[in-house]
């Protein structure tokens, strides 16, 4: 957009504050500003960052005295036109102040302060380039199909675990770099491992920059500038790397596109996958979404022809998919009632025998449980008292057999020996956690080397890297972990995976519960047998659950067909679109009254505007599944609609005036929500 230079009209500026765009006079220096230029502007008694949007007319209200722009911000480069258009879409679609959206583009520190080399803990540089391997027939076919469409197009790469999706990404980036362009690769934060970065760095020495949450502010700033200046030509990062304005972007790759971590649930509630697709469309470049278990949103788009579908059905070198055995824990419980086995209650004879076999052969095994701690909670078997968090509507988790922890607000308490309620019976751990599994395994196999990977044991990136390195170098015989170990890791000697309790998550209060369970079971199973025949043992109380049935068959298409029909019957995404209003208050009564008022306003709008009266449903209000969180009471109101545009307009209109919202109460909207708690 060319700004009006002739009339010296005021500028519309997106400011770093929770406000709409504001109008300012040109700088007193007379300097002409351009769209996307970073500036400093006065706001109240302070100056704030801003970015120029366009020229505008002077407000009709003559009482308003406009202030001039202080001047350009020389520390910040101008945001390119394509990114400006995209940022405006982000603010409009996710209903977030544009100035706050724009602010996410820039690095945390000034460039002028002493700048170290871009070589840092972020990425390791190599001097010699690793040559590409010979591509499989499937890889070559996929690569050819993608590169034939250099303009905007969305490619869904559905490849089984171990099929070589990463090599397709690397080969695609080689072609993009040969054309003089840059590349952006997004992966879930949990997948940003030394394994991945090392592979990219060996292939493209000196060309890789990395952005993720574990870097220091100085490292983030250095890495950001290395990309924006063109010094580094490939940016790899978690979802926030999407906001770095890569100057000559030629392709976007988004791996493990199904991952829930691509959705941000705080402040700007965006989904990196959806936002990346719009960015690719804005810049007219291709985008590749990869997964062994695609999201049903992406799969449905592929089925309807919006995305190009590419399939890789075989593992590299035709290695076999692991064999999967399902153990019915109901039968195990019945058998042990009559004939005790001496094994821990959670360990079946089948899984125990497989573990013995693996350790005898000096191979590696992994046990997966999506729950931390020694046990889920502690309970008095006399009066039934359970330890609950005073700040949240959840029971406390037992850790170390000595203390209780809330995983939401981090409240901690001592685990008392006797029940604090009746004071007559001892408190007993109830349930199972990764810490308990580790203790039991050490009792059964005292000679093996165990590593545990969960948020309690691994609290820094360095600790996670150490665990991965130990497993790679075969300094670990057994890896015990939560979903942190379920994705993207490639351990050559890991030939047995045990899913200790697959039921965790089956009955979560979320319409995506089955989909997430299937994805997690399939992804975790795929860690087994990367070099030789692998085995998977799934322990469950629900062997007939569809997530398990289709995982055993390795039938993603069958699962997707079944689940999409369920969604169609209930009008859930991806068939209809959804928005979630979250009402949060320090008072349960005030929160309920506000939620009721929101529903009343919603239904009044439906009656007033004909467009909202058809194919739109208002559901609620209802207490959130986590009703109390960090001493705030929470209610949900859900809106379902057959049109994303209509839904967006409805939400914008509904929140256009928030004067009716009581002080101290928040009403927030989440477009395309993922976390239903």
Question: Is the confidence at residue 192, as pLDDT, over 60?
Answer: yes
Picking from 50-54, 83-87, 316-320, 570-574, which range would have the lowest pLDDT averaged per residue?
316-320
Provide the pLDDT for residue 230. Answer: 94
Angle between helices 556-570 and 513-525 (to 10 degrees): 170
Question: Is the confidence at residue 113, as pLDDT, over 70?
Answer: no
Q: Up-side HSE of residue 314: CA atoms within 13 Å toward CB?
A: 9
Q: Which fold has domain 11-79?
A: GIY-YIG endonuclease (3.40.1440)
Beta pairing class for 616-629 and 632-641: antiparallel
pLDDT tens across 443-471, in order? 999 999 999 887 766 667 778 778 888 88
| CA–CA gap between residue 292 and residue 550 (Å, rounded) | 13
Tokens read off for 604: 């009044």
At CB < 8 A and 24+ separation, what contacts does 130-136 make? 130/202, 130/203, 132/167, 132/170, 132/171, 132/174, 132/203, 133/167, 135/164, 135/167, 135/171, 136/164, 136/312, 136/314, 136/316
Provide the pLDDT for residue 427. Answer: 84
| CA–CA gap between residue 651 and residue 214 (Å, rounded) | 35
CATH code for the part of the protein at 137-318: 3.40.50.300
**Sign (positive or negative) of CA dihedral 145, 147, 151, 154:** positive
Residue 627's beta-bridge partner residues? none
Same fold? 137-318, 577-671: no
Question: Is the confidence at residue 164, as pLDDT, over 60?
Answer: yes
Question: Is the confidence at residue 103, as pLDDT, over 90?
Answer: yes
Share of the chain above pLDDT 90, in %: 63
Measure Cα distances from 600 to 120, 395, 607 in Å: 55, 34, 11
User: Residue 1's pLDDT band (boundaries 50, 70, 90)?
Assistant: very low
Which residue matches tokens 């690769």? 185
* Whether domain 577-671 has CATH 3.30.70.600: yes
Measure Cα distances from 485 to 347, 488, 538, 620 in Å: 20, 8, 16, 37
Provide the pLDDT for residue 6. Answer: 43
User: Which helix or strand (DSSP H or E) is residue 47 part of?
Assistant: strand 46-55
Residue 540's beta-bridge partner residues? 328
Picking from 19-23, 310-314, 372-376, 529-533, which range would have the lowest pLDDT averaged per residue?
372-376
Domain 323-371+432-566's class? Answer: alpha beta
Picking from 245-249, 276-280, 398-402, which range would have the lowest pLDDT averaged per residue?
398-402
Measure Cα distances from 613 to 97, 402, 579, 598 in Å: 28, 56, 16, 17
Picking from 68-77, 177-186, 249-258, 340-349, which range would have the lowest pLDDT averaged per residue?
340-349
Measure Cα distances from 661 to 305, 583, 623, 628 in Å: 43, 10, 18, 19
Provide the pLDDT for residue 483. Answer: 73
Provide the pLDDT for residue 61. Answer: 60
Q: Which one is predicted more confidently, 54 or 337?
A: 54
Contacts of 16 (CB under 8 A, 6+ apart): 48, 49, 50, 99, 100, 102, 103
Provide the pLDDT for residue 433. Answer: 82
| CA–CA gap between residue 210 and residue 231 (Å, rounded) | 13
Question: Environment class of residue 510 by beta-carbon count within 10 Å: exposed (0-12), middle (13-18) or buried (19+)?
Answer: middle
Provide the pLDDT for residue 118. Answer: 47
Provide the pLDDT for residue 464. Answer: 77
Picking from 118-127, 232-241, 492-501, 659-668, which range would have the lowest pLDDT averaged per residue?
118-127
Radius of gyration for the alpha carbons in the chain, expressed in angstroms and rounded: 27
| CA–CA gap between residue 155 and residue 148 (Å, rounded) | 12
Tokens read off for 61: 């209200």
pLDDT tens across 599-622, in order? 999 999 999 999 999 999 999 999
* pTM (predicted TM-score): 0.91
Dihedral angle computed from the Cα positions of residues 644, 650, 654 and 656, in that order, rounded to the nearest 10 degrees: 80
User: Which helix or strand (DSSP H or E) is residue 569 part of?
Assistant: helix 556-570
Question: Is the confidence at residue 532, as pLDDT, over 80?
Answer: no
Short-list 642, 641, 661, 644, CA closest to 601: 661
| CA–CA gap between residue 626 and residue 635 (Å, rounded) | 9
Provide the pLDDT for residue 371. Answer: 65
| CA–CA gap between residue 366 and residue 497 (Å, rounded) | 5
Question: Is the confidence at residue 655, as pLDDT, over 60?
Answer: yes
Question: Is the confidence at residue 306, as pLDDT, over 80?
Answer: yes
pLDDT tens across 374-409, in order? 457 788 878 888 888 899 888 888 876 678 888 788
Q: Determine contact, residues 354/496, Cβ cutoff 8 Å.
A: yes
Q: What is the SS3 assignment for 221? A: helix
Q: What is the mean pLDDT of the chain?
A: 89
Mean pLDDT of 279-295: 97
DSSP per-residue letters across 372-434: -SSBSEEEETTT--B-B-SSSSSBPEEETTTEEE-TTT--EEE--SB-TTTSSSBEEEES--H
| CA–CA gap between residue 553 and residue 278 (Å, rounded) | 35
| CA–CA gap between residue 143 and residue 172 (Å, rounded) | 7
State residue 615 phi and psi, 5-degree precision. 55, 40
Q: Determine contact, residues 129/203, Cβ cutoff 8 Å.
A: yes
Query: For the chain, how far is it from start to end, CA to CA, in angstroms?
Result: 42
Provide the pLDDT for residue 60. Answer: 62
| CA–CA gap between residue 261 and residue 368 (Å, rounded) | 19
Mean pLDDT of 575-581: 96
User: Which helix or strand (DSSP H or E) is residue 623 part of?
Assistant: strand 616-629
> For the chain, which residues make up each domain, given as ranges?
11-79, 137-318, 323-371+432-566, 577-671
């Amino acid at each position: 957009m060319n700004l009006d230079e002739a009339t010296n009209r005021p500028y519309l500026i997106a400011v770093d504050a929770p406000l709409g765009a504001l109008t300012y006079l040109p700088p007193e220096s007379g300097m002409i500003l351009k769209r996307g230029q970073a500036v400093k502007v006065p706001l109240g008694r302070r100056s704030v960052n801003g970015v120029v949007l366009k020229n505008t007319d002077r407000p009709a209200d003559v009482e308003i005295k406009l202030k001039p722009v202080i001047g350009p911000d020389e520390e910040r480069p101008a945001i390119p036109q394509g990114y400006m258009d995209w940022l405006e879409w982000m603010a409009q679609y996710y209903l977030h102040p544009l100035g706050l959206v724009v602010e996410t583009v820039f690095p945390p520190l000034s460039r002028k302060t002493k700048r170290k080399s871009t070589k840092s803990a972020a990425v390791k540089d190599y001097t010699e380039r690793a040559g590409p391997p010979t591509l499989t027939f499937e890889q070559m076919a996929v690569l050819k199909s993608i590169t034939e469409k250099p303009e905007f197009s969305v490619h869904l790469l559905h490849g089984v675990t171990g099929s070589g999706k990463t090599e397709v990404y690397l080969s695609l980036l080689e072609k993009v770099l040969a054309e003089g362009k840059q590349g952006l690769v997004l992966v879930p934060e949990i997948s940003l491992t030394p394994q991945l970065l090392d592979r990219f760095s060996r292939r493209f020495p000196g060309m890789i920059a990395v952005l993720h949450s574990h870097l220091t502010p100085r490292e983030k700033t250095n890495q950001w500038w290395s990309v924006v200046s063109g010094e580094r030509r490939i940016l790899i990062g978690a979802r926030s790397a999407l906001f770095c304005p890569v100057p000559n972007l030629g392709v976007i790759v988004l791996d493990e596109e199904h991952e829930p971590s691509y959705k941000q649930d705080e402040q700007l509630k965006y989904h990196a996958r959806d936002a990346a697709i719009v960015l690719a469309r804005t810049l007219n470049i291709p985008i590749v979404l990869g997964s062994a278990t695609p999201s049903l949103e992406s799969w449905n788009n592929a089925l309807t022809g919006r995305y190009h579908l590419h399939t890789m059905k075989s593992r590299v070198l035709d290695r076999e998919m692991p064999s999967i055995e399902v153990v019915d824990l109901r039968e195990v419980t019945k058998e042990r009632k009559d004939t005790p086995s001496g094994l821990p209650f959670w360990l079946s004879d089948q899984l125990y025998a497989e573990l013995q076999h693996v350790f005898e052969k000096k191979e590696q095994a992994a046990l997966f449980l999506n729950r931390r701690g020694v046990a889920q909670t502690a309970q008095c078997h006399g009066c039934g008292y359970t330890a609950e968090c005073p700040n949240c509507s959840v029971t406390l988790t037992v850790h170390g057999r000595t203390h209780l922890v809330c995983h939401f607000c981090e409240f901690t308490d001592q685990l008392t020996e006797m029940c604090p309620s009746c004071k007559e019976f001892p408190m007993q751990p109830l349930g199972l956690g990764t810490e308990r599994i580790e203790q039991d395994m050490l009792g059964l196999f005292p000679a093996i080397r165990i590593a545990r990977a969960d948020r309690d044991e691994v609290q820094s990136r360095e600790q996670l890297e150490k665990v991965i390195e130990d497993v790679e170098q075969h300094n670990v015989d057994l890896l015990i972990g939560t979903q942190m170990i379920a994705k993207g890791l490639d351990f050559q000697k890991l030939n047995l995976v045990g899913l200790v309790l697959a039921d965790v998550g089956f009955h979560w209060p979320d319409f995506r519960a089955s989909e997430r369970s299937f994805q997690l079971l399939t992804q975790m199973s795929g860690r087994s047998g990367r070099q030789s025949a692998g085995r998977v043992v799934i322990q469950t109380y629900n062997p007939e659950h569809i997530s398990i049935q289709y995982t055993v068959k390795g039938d993603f298409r069958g699962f997707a067909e079944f689940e999409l029909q369920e969604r169609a019957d209930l009008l859930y995404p991806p068939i209809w679109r959804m928005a979630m209003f979250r009402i949060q208050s320090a008072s349960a009564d005030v929160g309920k009254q506000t939620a009721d008022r929101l529903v009343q306003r919603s239904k009044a709008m439906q009656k007033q505007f004909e467009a909202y009266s058809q194919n739109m449903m208002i559901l609620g209000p209802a207490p959130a599944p986590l009703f109390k969180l960090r001493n705030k009471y929470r209610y949900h109101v859900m809106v379902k609609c057959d049109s994303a545009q209509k839904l967006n307009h409805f939400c914008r209109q509904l929140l256009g005036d928030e004067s009716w919202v009581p002080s101290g109460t928040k009403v927030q909207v989440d477009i395309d929500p993922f976390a239903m708690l």
